[in-house]
Structures are given as C-alpha cells and as structure tokens.
Amino acid sequence: MLKPIHRHLLKWRLWFVEYFHGGELPVTLFWAGLVGLGGGLLSVLFRRAIRLLQWVLTEHQGSLVQTAMDLPKWERLLVPGVGGLIAGVVLVWGMRLARSRKTSDYMEALVVGNGVVGVRTTLVKSLSSLFTIASGGAVGREGPMVTLASMLASTIGRLRGFSMPRLKLLVACGAAAGIAAAYNAPIAGALYVGEIILGTISMEMFGPLIFSSVVSTLTVHQLLGARPTYVIPGFHVASNWEFFFYIALGLLAGMISPLFLGLLKNSERLLMRLPVSVPVRMMAGGLIVGVISLICPEVWGNGYSVVNSILRQDWIWTTLLMVFACKILATGATVGSGAVGGVFTPTLFVGASIGCLFGHAIHFVAPQITTVPGGYALVGMGCFLAATTQAPLMSILMIFEMTLQYDVVLPLMLGCVTAHYMSKGLGQKSIYASHLRRKKVSESSPGSSKASVVRDLMRPDPPCVLPQTSFGEIARIFSKYRINYVYVVDAEKRFLGVVSLHEMKPYLNDPVLSETVLAMDFMREDFPVLASGQHLTEALKAFSSHDGERIPIVDNLVDRHLVGVISKTDLLLALADFSSRPASTKS
C-alpha cells in the first residue's frame, strides 16, 4: 500500500519535473556552490595562517615588504633561508609520511588525469608553502589556495561517487573558486579555468564555474570585506593617440615574456643540479632572497604591496628598474629551488614594472598626449599576463575586476591581444603548458584515459523492477532515487521497457486504482537503449531525439541484458573535454 507521504513526495516531484524540467543542472549547481563556499573559507583560513606564521617567524604582521624593512639586516637575511629550510623538511618528510601517489596538481588532474586530487599530498605541500610565503619567499599565495579548493572539490566528488567527467567538472569549480577568492575576480576565475586549463567555455562547464566563483567571492566578501584588489586613482586616456602606445606596450610585453619564462626555467635547472638535499636547496633559494633583500627589501613576498605602490605613487624610474631586476632574481631563486607557490602575482608584478618603465619613457617623450606611468603599469599587468598565460580574454577581465576601472578596458583589449599574438608568434606556449611538460605528464599516464565508448561513462546497477512489481513498490523507488524512469527487466535482467514517473500521475490521483496495477500495466516498451560498446557520438545522436537525462545501457542490442545507464550531463562533459584537447592527442 502506498503511504500518503510517498504519494505527496511523488506529486511534488511531478510538479518540479513538469515546470522546471528536472535534469542534472540544479544538482550540479548545488555542488558547485558548495565547493565555492568551501573554497572561499579555505582561502580565508590560508590567509590567516600566513599572518600567524609570519608573526611566529618575525614578530611582525601586515605587508611582508614592510616587515623586511622593519627587521634588522641579519634577520632579514636569515628568515627567508630558515623558512625555506623548514618548508623543505616539511615537504620531504611529509611526502614520506603521506605515502600517496595521488597528484596534488589540479591542472594535471583536470588536463590528463581522472579528477583525483590527493588530500595528504595537497595538505603537505600547502603546509610547506605556508613556511615559504610567511618567511618572505617570492612566490604567490594563490597557488596553494587554488589547490586546496580543488582538493576539497575532488574529495566531495569522490565521496558522492561522481563519474569521472562530473568529478573533473567539480575540481574545475574548485580551481575557479580558488582564483576568484584570491583576486576578488569571479568572472576571471571562471575564465581562468575555462580558457587556460579546460580549453573550452561551453555552458555545460562554464555555468557551474561561474556559480562556484560567485559563491566563493561572496564568502570572502562576507568575512574580509568587499573592495577591489587594487584601489587606484581614476584611470583615463589622455588622447586617442595614446592607444598606439598601448599597442607598443603589448608588443614589448610579448617580447619580454619568453625571457621571463626562460629565466624561471633556467633557474630551476641550475638549482636542481646542486648536489644537495631538497631542504638545503630550498634554504639556498631562501638565502638568495635574503641576500637580495639586504639592498632591496621589496623582493619579499609576492609583490602585491609593491604593485599597489607602483599603481598609486610616482616612482623614480631608476629605483623601479633596480627593484624590477632584484624581484625577478628573487622569484627565480624561490621558484627554482622547488618551493611550492604560485607565479600568478609575481607575473603581475613584472607586468606592472614593465608598464611603468615604458610609461616613464613615453611620458618623457610626449607628456601632452600620454597619461601618468601608473596607467601604463595597469595595462602592462594585463599585457604580460596575456603573454605568459596565452589567455587574453581572462587577462582583460582579471585586471578590470581587480581594479573596477572601466576606462582601462579599451587599452587592455588592444594591449592584451597584441601581447598574446606577439608571444605566440615567438613560439611561446602558456606558462602552464610548460609546467605540465616539466612534470613529464603524458596522455598515457595511469588513470588519464579519456572516455571514447559508452561503457567508459556507464553507471552500473540502475534501479530496476520486474513486470509484476506493484505500484506501491515503484512509488517507493521514485521517492528514494532522483530519477524520472524506472527500468523494467525480466528474471534474467533483460531490458523490457520503462515506467515513467509522469505516467504514474493518474494513478496517484486514484488511490483505489493504484493498489491494483503492476509495472507491466503502464510500461513503455519503445524506449531508446545503447550498447556498451557504442561510440560516444552514437550516444549523442540517441540523446538528440530523447528528452530524458539518462539512457539505459545493455550488453548488446540482441540479448539486451541491462548493465548500466549513461547520463546526458556526463556525455556532454566528456565530449567537451575531448574537443578541448590538442589535435595531436586525439589520434
């Protein structure tokens, strides 16, 4: 007998399906929002942990640059080295204790992996990064923030038993949430993942990315306040002639970007050759930062406070040139030593310095038709970011969101696109493509296989009933599972047809009749099925003429033994993932 509570639940389910068409979208957005919330919280906790550890190491809080200026020179020299040593010890011993082969690299997990981001390895590397950053290492904090959010997303997805395409989408939402929280840039955070990592901005992926980024940003706003990352005076273009100078700045940034990436690569190659242990090598990298900071304390940290100063104050070009050169060397030493951290903010620093120096030269030559050097610094950030990441659209929106200066958009559009094409013309690939190549990740890595046939995306053991199953039992299945069809099979589990949730509606309104009908009485036999060995393109054709979210899978189209079910969402995500891969990897 069908209980009243089950009857009411089914009526609500029917109403929702009829008016909102059900589907997987609401569920996907729910989990994307949850990941965004978690990513925002982890971002705030990581910032607080940096402040606490910075106080433990230096008894100072606030800007790392100001901390370096306030410390005695001997302490300014030693603190980065000590922090590098501790970070190295944490990294070596932590990885030994973790004993996990799961990657902590969210890019690897998304591009060539199966969406699994290891918890223990991520926590170890994040702890190591804390010591590097808090002691003045010249790397960004955004790297660990993104990795922690991706780890959280991967853990949630695995606990929920998500399919590989859906798990990778959730990890992508975590990465977007991390970037959005780090830079107060929800649109750029979603584009960062779509344009750089996934290589696609299809709505099946981009919608959840946006949702996760927005929730993450709102979480940070609630806890830390809502204001632009860089608060600057109003940006303005002095004359239309100035746009030619912004194009020239884009060309310059595009030409310099391969040199910067080459410096990072050669620094790593040089320091990795040292016949010392990892902790000693990371200590050496920290000591190099300490030595440089004796004459230029601005090299401490990721460069955020210095960029703020460049954008808001009038720097003497000789001083800026010295800081620029020292910062590049410090970044190379930190990254090359193997320290865990991001290079996103140091890249913004390099772009701001190049733009400001260029602005000084142009303003000296033509002061009447050019703006102040700080304006060129702002555009230079976007140009250099576009050149190094090969993602001009993300770079344009990133700078706009971090400053909320609308007038900078037109110069950014010209400069970023020019920088992108210049660097691409010089044969430069994205900084992240180089990162994956250095890790020697390939398409043949374990667990990195891509789905190509239906069985690769199959979910086994879908709910099914026998033809003699009562109406009440079918109703209980619909109440328990979020499905619109229950599959009907015989005693040997051969697929016979389906019972539709919508077609149960007349029986719900007639309690007496509902107690006499069986599954065979309102079973539909004309329902699409797919064989487990069929290609995904054939599954796409089947879904094009089927308005449901799932299609049953049989072992073959003759015997029709039910073996699983395929989801339309999983299929679209897998096809989007496949289409975003380089042509050389599809063969």
Handedness of CA 3, 8, 12, 15 (dihedral sign): positive
pLDDT value, residue 447: 41
* More confidently predicted of 507 and 269: 269
pLDDT 10s digits, 65-91: 999 999 999 999 999 999 999 999 999
Lookup: tokens for 484: 């619109």
Q: Which long-range contacts (CB under 8 A, 24 or more apart) does 440-447 make?
A: 441/108, 441/111, 441/112, 442/112, 443/112, 443/585, 445/112, 445/113, 447/113, 447/114, 447/116
Task: Pick the range with the lowest mean pLDDT from 121-125, 269-273, 366-370, 494-498.
Answer: 366-370
Say if residue 59 is in the same domain as residue 135. Answer: yes
Whole-model pTM?
0.82
pLDDT of residue 14: 61
Indicate if 428 and 455 belong to the same structural domain.
no
Do 402 and 483 fall into the same domain? no
> Using CA atoms, how far apart are residues 117 and 102, in angstroms rounded to an integer?
6
For residue 8, pLDDT beyond 90: no
CATH number of the domain encompassing residue 248: 1.10.3080.10
Is 247 in the same domain as 383? Answer: yes
Give residue 477's pLDDT.
Answer: 81
* pLDDT for 578 beyond 70: no
Least confident span in 231-240, 400-409, 412-421, 509-518? 509-518
Cα separation values, 104 from 22, 100, 282, 430, Å: 35, 10, 19, 20
Tell which wins on pLDDT, 441 or 327: 327
One-letter identity of residue 296: C
Q: Could you tell me if 400 and 532 lie in one domain? A: no
Instruction: Report strand pairing: 550-554 vs 562-567.
Output: antiparallel
- pLDDT of 396 reads 95
Verify that 474 and 548 share a domain, yes or no.
yes
Q: Distance between CA 59 and CA 56 in Å, rounded?
A: 6
Which range (151-160, 266-275, 445-454, 558-567) has the least confidence?
A: 445-454
**For residue 515, what is the DSSP state?**
T
Q: Report residue 140: phi and psi, to 5°.
A: -90, 155
The answer as to whether 10 is a domain residue is: no
pLDDT value for 513:
60
Mean pLDDT comparison of 95-109, 278-292, 453-467, 539-553, highest-scoring range: 278-292
In a domain, 133, yes or no: yes
Per-residue model confidence (pLDDT) at position 583: 40
- Taking residues 144-153, report their average pLDDT: 94
Count of domains observed in the chain? 3
**Above 60 in pLDDT, residue 579?**
no
Tell me if 12 is assigned to some domain.
Answer: no
Residue 22 has pLDDT above 80, yes or no: no
In a domain, 348, yes or no: yes
Are the beta carbons of 80 and 322 closer than 8 angstroms?
no
Q: Give the lowest-confidence range in 213-217, 267-271, 579-583.
A: 579-583
- 134 and 208 assigned to the same domain: yes
Residues 113, 35 share a domain: yes
What angle (nearest 5°) sits at the alpha carbon of residue 575, between those of residues 574 and 577?
65
Task: Say what the pLDDT of residue 446 is.
Answer: 40
Fill in the amino acid letter for 351. G
d(CA 362, CA 357): 9
- Can you give the pLDDT at residue 587? 35
How far CA 130 is from CA of 4, 123, 133, 137, 147, in Å, comes to 56, 10, 5, 10, 13
Phi then psi for 497, rounded to 5 degrees? 170, -160
CATH of the domain at 497: 3.10.580.10
- Mark whether 410 and 481 lie in a shared domain: no
Q: Please state at what angle helix 164-183 crosses helix 568-579, rounded to 10 degrees.
A: 70
What is the CB neighbour count within 10 angstroms for residue 214? Answer: 20
Between residues 211 and 12, the one the model is more confident about: 211
178-187 pLDDT, tens digit each? 999 999 999 9
* End residue of a domain, out of 438, 473, 507: 438
Q: What percent of the chain has pLDDT over 70?
A: 88
Query: Looking at the domain assignment, is residue 32 inside a domain?
Result: yes
Question: How confident is the model over 256-269, as pLDDT tens digits?
Answer: 999 999 998 899 88
Q: What is the pLDDT of residue 451?
A: 61
Helical packing angle, 142-159 and 344-365, nearest 10°: 140
Predicted pLDDT of residue 374? 87
Does 11 map to a domain? Answer: no
Beta bridge partners of 535: 453
Mean pLDDT rounded to a whole number for the chain: 86
pLDDT in the model for residue 87:
95
Same structural domain, 182 and 284? no
Residue 126 belongs to domain spanning: 21-224
Poorest-pLDDT segment among 4-18, 44-58, 306-320, 422-436: 4-18
Q: How many angstroms separate the CA atoms of 194 and 117, rounded? A: 18
Q: What type of residue sits at position 37?
A: L
Q: Do 434 and 455 reside in the same domain of the chain?
A: no
CA distance linking residue 311 with residue 305, whole number of Å: 10
253 lies in the same domain as 176: no
Is residue 585 predicted with pLDDT exceeding 50? no
- Asked whether residue 348 carries a pLDDT value surpassing 80, the answer given is yes
Count of C-beta atoms within a 10 Å radius of residue 327: 25
**444: pLDDT strictly greater than 50:** no
Asked which of 224, 258, 285 is the last residue of a domain, the reply is: 224
**80-89, 122-131, 288-297, 443-452: segment of lowest average pLDDT:** 443-452
159, 189, 224: which is the final residue of a domain?
A: 224
In a domain, 30, yes or no: yes
pLDDT band at 443 (very low <50, low <70, confident <90, very high): very low
Give domain status of residue 166, yes or no: yes
Instruction: Say whether pLDDT at 272 is over 90.
Output: no
Note the pLDDT of residue 437.
56
Of 11-15, 58-62, 69-73, 474-478, the range with the highest mean pLDDT is: 69-73
Q: pLDDT value at position 11?
A: 64
User: Which of these ranges, 221-230, 399-408, 454-463, 475-484, has the smallest mean pLDDT?
Assistant: 475-484
